[in-house]
Amino acid sequence: MKSETPTILPLGFAVGIAVALVGVVVGFVVAGVGVAIAVIFGTLWARSGRTASPKRVEEAQEPEHVETEMGRDVFLKRATLALGGLVGALVALPVAGFALLPSFGRTRRPPIDVGPLTDFPEGQYMVTTFLIDPTAGAVARRTAYVRNNGLLGTAPSFTVISSRCTHVGCPTQPNGPIFAQQEKTLGTQESPVSLIPADPAGGFGCPCHGSQFDPEGNRTAGPAARALDRNEFSIDNGRLQLGNTFSVSHVDGTGAQARIHRFGLQGPGQPVNGLESWLYPVQPPR
């Protein structure tokens, strides 16, 4: 009796699973390729167990009942492997889910009160500094460039641009005068807010590597990957509330009429559209 011909189908199935697991970290495209490989090789592997090779039967020249016993043996081996894989998946998947999924869950922080609307003159940029988490202290300090655009219809409109450069995360600065002598301090001792008028007629610049942005945050020069990030905002009892930060590829128009091409928040240096964004590793939401 000849032994069963070796096959690469189980190896291909294992490679597909490995690629899919790597894709969970690297990117959804890689994960999809891994799943496709696993499905193809898994299907072929399963089908190969249903039919015996005619060449092998002819060479063996064994009685019919012997061939039946051989088929049963192959079926039992593969059923055992399949059952073991199923049990392993049932054990591993919940563990992996509890370990990985919380990192990819969208989190929303409480809005930050940065003061009454009357502290934001229409058309004036205010360098606004605040704490996103007062319990964390100085490490939670953030700065945004806030401009009152006036009314959009009947609702107040604001432009809220993050000061963090989208190259490697350095703080940008206005390309124009900053009126530090007019600084106003609001909030509480635990959650202070600072407002300083500025006139960034030339936009914003990064002193680290030279990236430049126009007054709407669009990248105009330098190595930055995209426009400056922005913050959501809301109005509560006549006070401006800053919400979560989101990323922007570019902005069409200005002020209240601007059309913002919005994406989920990405890290410094990460493009949000085009081929480069597909090749970049998946980042947990912030």
Range with the poorest average pLDDT among 32-46, 87-101, 104-118, 267-281:
87-101
Residue 1 lies in a domain: no
Same domain, 98 and 198: no
Give yes or no: residues 128 and 202 share one domain: yes
Q: Are residues 51 and 121 in the same domain?
A: no
Confidence band, pLDDT 50/70/90 cuts, at residue 105: low
Note the pLDDT of residue 15: 77
Per-residue pLDDT tens over the stretch 234-285: 999 999 999 999 999 999 999 999 999 999 999 999 999 887 777 776 665 5
Last residue of a domain, one of 104, 127, 160: 104
Closest Cα to residue 258, out of 282, 285, 228? Answer: 228
Does residue 285 sit within a domain?
Answer: no
| 130 touches 187 (CB < 8 A) | yes
Supply the pLDDT for residue 68.
47
Handedness of CA 163, 169, 171, 174 (dihedral sign): negative
The pLDDT tens digits of the residues spanning 38-88 come to 888 778 877 776 554 555 545 555 555 544 445 666 666 766 776 666 666
User: 122: which DSSP letter?
Assistant: B
Residues 6+ apart with CB under 8 A from 8: none
pLDDT of residue 138: 86
Q: What is the pLDDT of residue 107?
A: 63
Q: For residue 119, what pLDDT band results from cuts at 50, 70 and 90?
A: very high
Same domain as 274, residue 137:
yes
For the chain, where are the E strands, in sequence order?
A: 112-116, 125-131, 141-152, 155-162, 173-174, 184-187, 192-198, 204-205, 212-213, 219-221, 230-236, 239-252, 259-263
Q: Mean pLDDT, the chain, as a whole number?
A: 82
The whole-number pLDDT of residue 263 equals: 92
Alpha carbons 42 and 30: distance in angstroms, whole number: 18
Q: How many domains does the chain have?
A: 2
Domain that holds residue 31: 9-104
Q: Mean pLDDT across the stretch 22-28?
A: 66
pLDDT at 4 over 80: no
Average pLDDT score over residue span 128-154: 92
The pLDDT assigned to 93 comes to 62
CB-CB neighbours of 119 under 10 Å: 17
Residue at 200 is within a domain: yes
Q: What is the pLDDT of residue 10?
A: 73
Buried b or exposed e, range 125-144, using 16+ CB within 10 angstroms: bbbbbbbbeeeeeeeeebbb
Decide: helix, strand or coil at residue 183.
Answer: coil
DSSP structure string for 191-212? SEEEEEEE--TT-EE-TTT--E
**Residue 146 CB contacts under 8 Å (≥ 6 apart), including other chains:** 114, 120, 125, 126, 128, 158, 159, 160, 161, 240, 242
End residue of a domain, out of 75, 104, 133: 104
Q: Are residues 76 and 154 in the same domain?
A: no
- Whether the CA torsion 202, 203, 207, 208 is positive or negative: it is negative
Percent of the chain clearing pLDDT 90 (strictly above): 50
* pLDDT value, residue 12: 74
**Contact between 23 and 32 (Cβ < 8 Å):** yes
Mean pLDDT of 1-23: 68
